[in-house]
Amino acid sequence: MRILHVASEAYPFSRTGGLADVMAALPAELVRLGHQVSVLSPWYADLLGTPHEIWRSGDLRLGEIVEAGVRFLFLETPAFKRPGIYHDDDVQRFSAWGRRVLTALQAAGVRFDVLHGHDWAAGLVVAHSNLRRLPSVFTIHNLQYQGRWNLYESAGWTGLPDWFARVEDVEFYGDLNLMKAGLIYAGHVTTVSPTYALEITTPQFGEGLEGVLQERRRQGQLSGVINGLDQERWDPRTDGHVLPYGDMAGKAANVAALREEFGLDDAPILSCVSRLAVQKGLDILLAALPEIVKSWNVVLLGSGDVQLEAAFSGWARRSPRVRHVTGMNEALSHRLYAGAHAFAMPSRFEPCGLSQMIALRYGTPPVARRTGGLADTVPEDIGFLFDDATPEAFLEALQRAEAALATPTGWNARAGRGFDLDFSWEGPARRYLDIYRQVAGD
């Protein structure tokens, strides 16, 4: 089968988050399973890599880089000739790009059996695919980001017929909504965990689109497919950023190394690697800190919300049991997974999440809210789950972890179960292939 993925970013060429990682791992697994796979994203001005130009027309050009058997395609339009990936005018930029994708691919001789669009930036491409009766799948990675703009101002950007501006189509409370375009016009809609697929059909998590999603579910056209994890990159047995280990005795050496690196006392270590955001429940962690530091050291890596960042940095200055490192630090993130006793994920919602999978494989039980992909991937006999998005509920789960830690033999058995958990991409890739065949057959 010939499969074309369309997304706003793709690792290693452009990346701000997990979407880019999916665009590296899922296509590679589909190739391994014997399929022809391409990934199309914008040709950014500061793209990491130099595509080979395969087609040009006026102010458009298409380039390619082949890596690990995957054909990465990059379409350049004038709106993407400035540095950076995302900007304030992204709805206009991605509309101008998305309306030209299929025309450019056809002119360049790129053929596919099914198009797989990812998140709102690909929503317009899915809508144009529907007009051409091309099979498509659309995946929601985070429903909170929808690609909205005033409908009347944006009407000329999309290249869609006027009738698309109806409430049954892309109109959403007076706006153009590109996420809604993908949800309405794809042959099948997926999201990145089974629990999140259910959650987004409710007002609490549906972001105003729950009615659309309820209808897709009623039609049998909404599925949750859990993301996989790059298990070669995240393998404590071969990880060059840590003291490699495959059992709890080896992990103890990493705990000692992290304790020395940050000058921590003998209390257990709770780590967190996260964007600092209310979605991630970092305000819950912050509110619980006065109680947490009575029994735990806390090491946090991440930036984001300026108020949260300032608050955690303030704690780090005042408390010998709190450390906060800002920014992105790949090597340190590995050490925090390997060297902590437990890992904090108090997310208000979590479409999938990868940190909990990494923590489990590194023998570091997550203390996580029972939501989205966390509910689907954290086994109750390893991690410590809680339901309410409150500091009290988080602390109760952390107290359960502390009680378990008091029995080292039991703790080692519990945490050690995570080493061999299978979070590979093979299962998710095969599930997507079933969906591709379904929509292509339709």
**Annotated binding residues for ADP-alpha-D-glucose:** 15
Using only C-alpha atoms, the chain has a radius of gyration, in whole angstroms, of 23
Helix segments in 378-424, DSSP class H: 391-405, 408-416
HSE of 393 in the Cβ direction (CA atoms, 13 Å)?
Answer: 15
Helix (H) or strand (E) holding 260: helix 248-262
Residue 33's alpha-carbon distances to 114, 115, 229, 290, 367, in angstroms, are 16, 18, 17, 50, 35
According to DSSP, residue 276 is labeled: B
What residues form the annotated binding site? 15
Residue 133's alpha-carbon distances to 5, 97, 107, 199, 442, in angstroms, are 17, 20, 18, 30, 10
Distance CA 309, CA 299 (A): 13
Token readout for 162 is 């006027």
Token readout for 393 is 């509920």
Cβ-contact 122, 98 below 8 angstroms: yes
Q: Where are the beta strands (DSSP E) in 97-195?
A: 114-118, 136-140, 148-150, 171-172, 175-177, 188-191
Nearest to 342 by CA among 386, 390, 290, 279: 386
Cα dihedral sign, 422-425-427-431: positive
Cβ-contact 180, 209 below 8 angstroms: yes
CB atoms within 10 A of CB 426: 12
Fill in the amino acid letter for 79. A
Burial class (CB in 10 A: 0-12, 13-18, 19+), 284: buried
Q: Which residues contact 226 (CB under 8 A, 6 or more apart)?
A: 192, 193, 194, 352, 373, 376, 377, 428
